[in-house]
Structure 1
Amino acid sequence: MEFGLFCLMGYREPGTATAAIYDAAVAQVQAAEEAGFATAWFAEHHFSNYCVCPSPLMMVARCAGETQRIRLASGVVIAPLYNPARLLSEIGMADALTHGRLVLGLGSGYQPYEFERFAEPLDDSVAKLVEFMDMLDAAFAGDCFTHAGPHYVLPETHIAPRPPQGVPDIWIAGDNPALHRVAARRGHAVMVTPRHYSAALLAAARARIAESWRAEGRDPQGMRFAALRPCCVTDDSDEADAFLEQTRFQIRLSQSLRFREQALAGAMLVEKPWAGEPTLAEMARHMLVGPAAHVAARLAEEIRAADPCHYLLQFQVGGSRTPQALRSIARFAGEVVPLLERMVGPLAGIGQRAPVTA
């Protein structure tokens, strides 16, 4: 079991400076490294205030020089929106800039709003991602490779920036059975989103993915399964309520983009409820928001129900503030983890200070 930091990098107040959003993410990554988190993840989305990070690999490159130990991860690269030859080169370069700390999260995408503006058919996205993974394997297996597939053709090509260890560790995002089967065949980890907001929903998601592993003749006991969770460690009930409301705002934007129901007021997405939306009281019962003991108990419940190997914890959601996120990161490592270890046993490394290198 490991913990990572997830940075979505959205905003709620019109006119928020993007430079400030990126700097806030860097500050959280540095705090997470100091606290002993294993990985920092950076999202990719386009054309809205839901997320202003169009290139997670650029954030990886920025943080490579700001950190020393923490792994740096795309969470995730939406591969169908890229020229594959360029993406292969940028993956190799990001791995070199991090000195091998790159974790490669890949996804097929889900927002029609984005794909339409790239003139890309969303219906082809899963097939293109799978084909890109074939290219990725070939690109770093030898000095040169060629590819001729349904969507991409590449003559004999040498990708100059080359990870010395080969293809970085790959994690696949989404709740898509076709991608789950690909992950099973290749042994990649799978991540699911905050929509699985309770232990029961998370366990059901794991069960669906386990069926894909069985269908591929693989033992689900070997499956790496990760969950993305908003998290706020606070003893202030008003602060907890405000964080839950910000979380609901963020999920509302995501759901409207998922189902092509988005509306814009100028440059800002309009917030609207989604079908089956839980109440804030329901969210409060299940989410990792509240005093350290509450957060630890919820985590223990989820770990027992769904056995994740990794959590991507988002400490800044919607329009919540960076100081609050930094306090939560410190309290999670210093207070939540010791309580959680009493409930479920030792965890990997969290809470230990990052080593200092010259």
Structure 2
Amino acid sequence: MRTGLYFDMRNPVAWRRDPVRLYGEFLELCEEAERLGLDSVWVTEHHGFDDDYLPTPLTLLAAAAARTTRIRLGTGVVVAPLHRAAEIAEQAAVVDLLSGGRLDLGLGAGYRPAEFELYGASLRARYAENDARAREVRELWRSGAVTPKPAQPRLPIWMGYLGPKGARRAGLLGECLLSADARLWEPYRAALVEGGHDPAGGRMAGGVQAWVTDDPDGDWPVVSRHLAAQVDSYARHARQGTELPPPRPVDPDRLRAGEPRTSLNYFFYGTAEDVAARILDYTAGAPVDGVYLWAGLAGMSRDLVARHINTIATRLAPLLREAG
């Protein structure tokens, strides 16, 4: 099983830093991750967050492509309904060429009303639009209607769905499923068969909410503060533009004790052995060939992020690689 890192470039007010330095450090950390032997770096997309969440993942990966030579580069995800298929196809092809064929293109439906309003897109039709983008991008590359073509003969498209209905959508399309949750393998597999695709070609991978440390008790006071800021930000911005009341502040200890029912209601925390065991249980029985963890949580210092990357690379990744 491959191991990667996840970045969102948050810069919250409580720990505000020079954004120029923050983005420069991202590139340095990508180089360090590659040097340490990690397998992938993933970035994602949101718009209008007050903590400056990354809005342009493919732009950032183009810069990472120029600073690395081996590590794979993924979008987890591009919010596809906000963009034209030709735009996605062209930008993804350029990143794939710059990287020598290392791009994994994750596409997601999105969920925030404010983002759809900003881009003049339909929130109601987002799932159908996301599926359509995957089909359209494939056809644009196949037909040569957009140029240049990617370096990879079949650039992996990962459908960013986290429930059984989404897993079915990914299977019918014959694309990869961007989830590491083994519970989704059965609906994904069944839909691959129904769509006329060989289930032996089914691939799953995805993000895992986790933190690896050699000192769980000593690090928790710091990690829990940044975890709370990150999850509270997600919850607050998810309700932006709706009539829902403000969410309650998250309890990090409950997340640490929780089981992964949804993408944000749990947090695997502990030593490399502890976290590896939780990940292997979470992915057991499914064709999950990779997971990625937060390199750092909202507002963390570069030193703390770098230490976490080192721990992931030297302690966790070997355990997952051996088990895989």
- Tell me whether 1:249 sits opposite 2:224 in the alignment: no
What is the CA–CA distance in structure 2 between the aligned matches of 1:210 and 1:251, rounded to whole Å? 31
What is the CA–CA distance in structure 2 between the aligned matches of 1:284 and 1:183, rounded to whole Å? 25
Letter in 2 for 1:314: W
- Tell me whether 1:117 sits opposite 2:118 in the alignment: yes
Q: How does 1:78-93 map to 2 (within 5 A)?
A: 78-93=79-94
Letter in 2 for 1:313: L
- Structure-2 residue corresponding to 1:16: 17
What is the CA–CA distance in structure 1 between the aligned matches of 2:275 and 2:81, rounded to whole Å? 37
Comparing 59-68 with 133-142, greater Cα deviation is found at 133-142
What is the CA–CA distance in structure 1 between the aligned matches of 2:86 and 2:318, rounded to whole Å? 45
Indicate conservation of the 8 Å contact 1:244/1:283, yes or no. no
Out of 137, 142, 163, which is 2:150 matched to? 163
Indicate conservation of the 8 Å contact 1:180/1:213, yes or no. no
Comparing 216-225 with 122-131, greater Cα deviation is found at 216-225
- Structure-2 residue corresponding to 1:197: none
Following superposition, the deviation at residue 29 of structure 1 comes to 1.5
Give CA-to-partner distance per residue, 1:180-200, whole Å, 9 cap, x none: 33321333221238xxxxxxx
**Residues 204 and 133 of structure 1: is their aligned pair in 2 closer, same or farther, counting only changes over 3 Å?**
closer
TM-score with structure 1 length normalisation?
Answer: 0.76
**Residues 259 and 167 of structure 1: is their aligned pair in 2 closer, same or farther, counting only changes over 3 Å?**
farther
| 3-state SS of paired residue (2:279) | helix
**Residues 182 and 174 of structure 1: is their aligned pair in 2 closer, same or farther, counting only changes over 3 Å?**
closer
Letter in 1 for 2:284: R
What is the CA–CA distance in structure 1 between the aligned matches of 2:314 and 2:169, rounded to whole Å? 38
What is the CA–CA distance in structure 2 between the aligned matches of 1:166 and 1:125, rounded to whole Å? 28
Indicate conservation of the 8 Å contact 1:231/1:315, yes or no. no
Larger Rg, first or second structure (1 or 2): 1
**Residues 220 and 320 of structure 1: is their aligned pair in 2 closer, same or farther, counting only changes over 3 Å?**
farther
Following superposition, the deviation at residue 220 of structure 1 comes to 5.6
Following superposition, the deviation at residue 50 of structure 1 comes to 5.0
Give CA-to-partner distance per residue, 1:183-231, whole Å, 9 cap, x none: 21333221238xxxxxxxx444445545544654667665322231233
- Tell me whether 1:186 sits opposite 2:162 in the alignment: no
Following superposition, the deviation at residue 44 of structure 1 comes to 0.8
Q: How does 1:259-298 map to 2 (within 5 A)?
A: 259-260=239-240, 272-273=248-249, 279-283=254-258, 287-298=267-278
Structure 1: gaps spanning 5 or more residues: 145-158, 194-201, 264-269, 348-358
**Residues 217 and 303 of structure 1: is their aligned pair in 2 closer, same or farther, counting only changes over 3 Å?**
same
- Tell me whether 1:41 sits opposite 2:42 in the alignment: yes
- Structure-1 residue corresponding to 2:213: 234
| 3-state SS of paired residue (1:334) | helix
Following superposition, the deviation at residue 32 of structure 1 comes to 1.6
Letter in 1 for 2:310: A
Indicate conservation of the 8 Å contact 2:114/2:241, yes or no. no
Q: Percent of aligned positions with the same letter in both sequences?
A: 27
What is the CA–CA distance in structure 1 between the aligned matches of 2:47 and 2:271, rounded to whole Å? 34
TM-score with structure 2 length normalisation?
Answer: 0.83
| 3-state SS of paired residue (1:273) | coil
- Tell me whether 1:333 sits opposite 2:297 in the alignment: no
- Structure-2 residue corresponding to 1:5: 5
| 3-state SS of paired residue (1:192) | coil
What is the CA–CA distance in structure 1 between the aligned matches of 2:99 and 2:291, rounded to whole Å? 22
**Residues 262 and 50 of structure 1: is their aligned pair in 2 closer, same or farther, counting only changes over 3 Å?**
farther
Following superposition, the deviation at residue 38 of structure 1 comes to 1.7
**Residues 133 and 292 of structure 1: is their aligned pair in 2 closer, same or farther, counting only changes over 3 Å?**
closer
**Residues 221 and 302 of structure 1: is their aligned pair in 2 closer, same or farther, counting only changes over 3 Å?**
farther
Give structure 1 regions of 4+ aligned residues with deviation exceeding 6 angstroms. none
- Structure-1 residue corresponding to 2:71: 70
Indicate conservation of the 8 Å contact 1:244/1:289, yes or no. no
What is the CA–CA distance in structure 1 between the aligned matches of 2:208 and 2:93, rounded to whole Å? 29
**Residues 26 and 106 of structure 1: is their aligned pair in 2 closer, same or farther, counting only changes over 3 Å?**
same
What RMSD, in angstroms, separates the aligned Cα atoms of the two structures? Answer: 3.1
What is the CA–CA distance in structure 1 between the aligned matches of 2:273 and 2:292, rounded to whole Å? 19
Structure 2: gaps spanning 5 or more residues: 261-265
Indicate conservation of the 8 Å contact 1:46/1:52, yes or no. yes
| 3-state SS of paired residue (2:284) | helix
Give CA-to-partner distance per residue, 1:30-74, whole Å, 9 cap, x none: 222112222111111111145531111111111111111111112
What is the CA–CA distance in structure 2 between the aligned matches of 1:143 and 1:214, rounded to whole Å? 29
- Structure-2 residue corresponding to 1:267: none
Indicate conservation of the 8 Å contact 1:256/1:262, yes or no. no
What is the CA–CA distance in structure 2 between the aligned matches of 1:111 and 1:49, rounded to whole Å? 14
- Structure-2 residue corresponding to 1:61: 62
**Residues 307 and 127 of structure 1: is their aligned pair in 2 closer, same or farther, counting only changes over 3 Å?**
closer
What is the CA–CA distance in structure 1 between the aligned matches of 2:143 and 2:201, rounded to whole Å? 29
What is the CA–CA distance in structure 2 between the aligned matches of 1:187 and 1:56, rounded to whole Å? 24
Indicate conservation of the 8 Å contact 1:108/1:126, yes or no. yes
Indicate conservation of the 8 Å contact 1:74/1:104, yes or no. yes
